[in-house]
Amino acid sequence: MFSKDKFLEGEILLIDKPLEWTSFQVVNAIRWAIRKKYELKKIKVGHAGTLDPLATGLLIVCTGKATKKIQDIQGQEKTYEGSLLLGKTTPSFDLETEVDHEYPFDHITEPQIKEVASGFIGEIIQKPPIFSAIRKNGKRLYEYARKGENVTVPERHVFIRELEITGFQPPEVHFRVVCSKGTYIRSLAHDMGKALGSGAYLSGLRRTKIGLYNVDNACLPRIFKENLAGASENTG
């Protein structure tokens, strides 16, 4: 049951982020809908873990006093389902940028992919893509990248608990991964391509879980707004 008081006290909303939406756009849409419904001048709304525009799936949106829980939620383990395309690379490690190199991939078999995947399980050192929102010297890395400026991307330690190959239809590999906060699945796809003696970029990604929160219980922003608009004006 929606109510103004509940949103102000703090709600944790499970949103299924659509393709090509930014996480910021989702937060703005939720904030605008709540403010309009209850004629509020302002209300705190934030999300617990960015999803790239080309990814879909679970985005946790917190309102009111629940925004204090964002850091704890962000730190929880995450589960993704995705696909990578063998034989090509892009500067962004996904479909955001054009293909810059092509490589042979006919030598790659499913057993090889599974063997390589097993080598990424556990603690690994990862270099995030230059097209990322990580800050360096007060600027986002993608700001440097879009200007063609050279910048050293800092490495980070992340933990992969599970990496399962769920399908292989050359040149596309489908996978499921359970990982720690801070893991870049784009970098994982890129690194797997290198380990296979080829290249690869992330061709699709969907976040299905954050801790115990599941995308099966989430709704699209459009559905949230429709449900909110049709709710009673109850404030208690």
Rounded Cα distance, 187 and 207, in Å:
16
Locus of tokens 């200007």: 147
Per residue in 1-12, pLDDT (tens digit) is 789 999 999 999
Catalytic residues: 52
pLDDT score at 235: 45
Fold match between 4-75+213-229 and 78-210?
yes
pLDDT tens-place string over residues 126-140: 988 876 666 777 766
Q: Which amino acid is at 23?
A: S
The architecture of the domain spanning 4-75+213-229 is 2-Layer Sandwich (3.30)
**Per-domain residue ranges of the chain:** 4-75+213-229, 78-210
User: b vs e for 75-92, b when ≥16 Cβ sit within 10 Å of the residue's Cβ?
Assistant: ebbbbbbbbbbbbbbbbb
Q: Which of 123-137, 138-152, 156-170, 220-234 is predicted most confidently?
A: 156-170
Q: What's the confidence (pLDDT) of residue 144?
A: 67
Detail the DSSP E strand segments found in 99-186.
101-102, 122-126, 135-136, 139-140, 156-169, 172-179
Task: Check whether 234 has a pLDDT greater than 60.
Answer: no
Rounded to whole angstroms, the Cα distance separating 98 from 55 reads 17
Contacts of 158 (CB under 8 A, 6+ apart): 123, 124, 126, 179, 180, 182, 183, 184
pLDDT at 145: 63
Q: Which CATH architecture has domain 78-210?
A: 2-Layer Sandwich (3.30)
C-alpha distances (whole Å) from 56 to each of 42, 62, 80, 190 are 28, 18, 10, 19
Write out the two tokens for 82.
Answer: 């995705």
